[in-house]
Structure formats: structure tokens, C-alpha cells
Amino acid sequence: MQTIKLRHSNYLSGAKVCLSVLFLLITFWANAQEEKMNNPEHDTKPYYFGISVGLNFSQYHLEQSKYFIDYDTVMNITPYWKPGFHLGIMGNLRLGSFVDLRAIPSFVLREQALRYQLRKDSVINTSFESILFSMPIEFKFKSDRQTNFRFYVCAGGKIDYDFNANSRSKRPDEPLKVKPLDYGYNLGLGFEFYYPNFIFAPEIKVSNGLGNSLSNNSDEITNKALNRITTRMILLSIHIQG
């Protein structure tokens, strides 16, 4: 029996382009910094707010079921990376000189795609669009400030609610039914550039689900062939902080 194949070539190409653009932006803004320290009082603020906007790339991580192993109805299932968009509001609480606690409630437009290879060379291509409300709460670990620049890493948990999941689950012929609620973890890296009136902070983050999003309320072979699905997402964000 064939195992599920994960095709990363398109994703890796896109990720390399995004990372190249991100580091070019970082180099440009770093070279543009002046020696004068901007916004020096920001480091002592007990809290501040901001906005967050960016692109995301998401994919399902799959685990085949006993049905997939015992029957040859479904020969192979391949997930694909798809792009999306997110917009949120940030609240940041200062815990110490090098540690903050932040929350970024966001609306996320996300898409995932699967390709089912059936017997007799039959193929089913499916795409799942989601509108999520995501609530990540993260610790932010900051470096020393170098004039108008610093970098940070962040780590924490999240809860996601998919508004489209309930409507899709009511369709009798839906190829894949998923649960609306998910939870997981976030890990990221970012850079802060200080200006007189705001802080510009590009960030890259991995956001992965830990819960099984698959709903068993379906007799479709495309749903029965799976035992577990979890979400994988990479977020490229720009934070504008006050």
C-alpha cells in the first residue's frame, strides 16, 4: 500500500522567495537607521497596541486510516500548500526588560488543498477555504536594543475557530469534513525598527495545530480514508506598533 506523499517543491520555492524578500527588507531598513535613538520612552511603556497584517501559507498534515490501508479505493492522498491573508490587532504587556506577553486576535483567510488518487487513474482535487478567528497568546523574548534595532523570538499557544467548518459539514457530499475548533502552538522570529512615532516589525512564524481536525461524521471514502488531520501554517507578518 502506498503511503501519503507530501510534495514540498512548490512550497519551498515560495518560502525561499518570501525569505529573500524579508531579509532584503531587513537589510534596507537597517542600513537606513540613523544614529539618533528614536522613541526612547517606548522601552519603559507598561503596555502598547498595534496592528498586524500579512500573508500565510497553509497545508494539512495527514494520517491515513485503517480503511485506506485495507482497501484500494483510495490509492494516494497529497496535500498542497496554499496562500492566504491575515489581519489582526496586537496588545503587548511588558513583563520585564527582555520579556513581554502579547496577544494578537486575528481574522485569517486560509486555504488548503488535497489531491485524491483513486483506482483506474481517477483523480479528485479538492480545495477548502476557511475564515478563522485566531487567538494566539505568546511570550516575546527580546534582545538588547541596538540604537533603533532589536530582534526577538516568540513562543506560545493559540485557539482557532473556523466559521466555514459548520456550513461545510452540513453538505452530504462534502469530500472532507472538519471540526470548527482547533488549538496549537506558535514559534517565531522577528525584528523591530524604531522610528520617531512607530515601530516597524517584520516577523516570520510557524503556527501548527495539535488537535485532530477531522470530523468522522461522513461516509464519503475521501473522509474515511483519513484517521487524523492537523493544520500547518507559516505566517509572514508586518506589525506596526505604537
Q: Taking the CA atoms of 119, 66, 61 and 8 in sequence, report the sign of the dihedral they define.
A: negative
Residue 150 belongs to some domain of the structure: yes
Q: Which of 226, 211, 232 is nearest to 116 (CA)?
A: 226
Residue 82 · residue 57 · CB < 8 Å: yes
Give the other-Cβ count within 10 Å of 154's Cβ. Answer: 20
Instruction: Read off the amino acid at residue 230.
Output: T
Counted domains in the chain = 1
pTM over 0.85: no
pLDDT in tens, 120-159: 778 888 888 899 999 999 999 999 998 899 999 999 999 9
| Per-residue pLDDT at 187 exceeds 90 | yes
Residue 1 belongs to some domain of the structure: no
Give the other-Cβ count within 10 Å of 220's Cβ. Answer: 13
Residue 2 belongs to some domain of the structure: no
User: Structural domain of residue 100, as residue ranges?
Assistant: 9-241
Residue 78 · residue 123 · CB < 8 Å: no
Residue 42 belongs to some domain of the structure: yes
Taking the CA atoms of residue 25, residue 28, residue 34 and residue 35 in that order, the dihedral angle to the nearest 10 degrees is 90
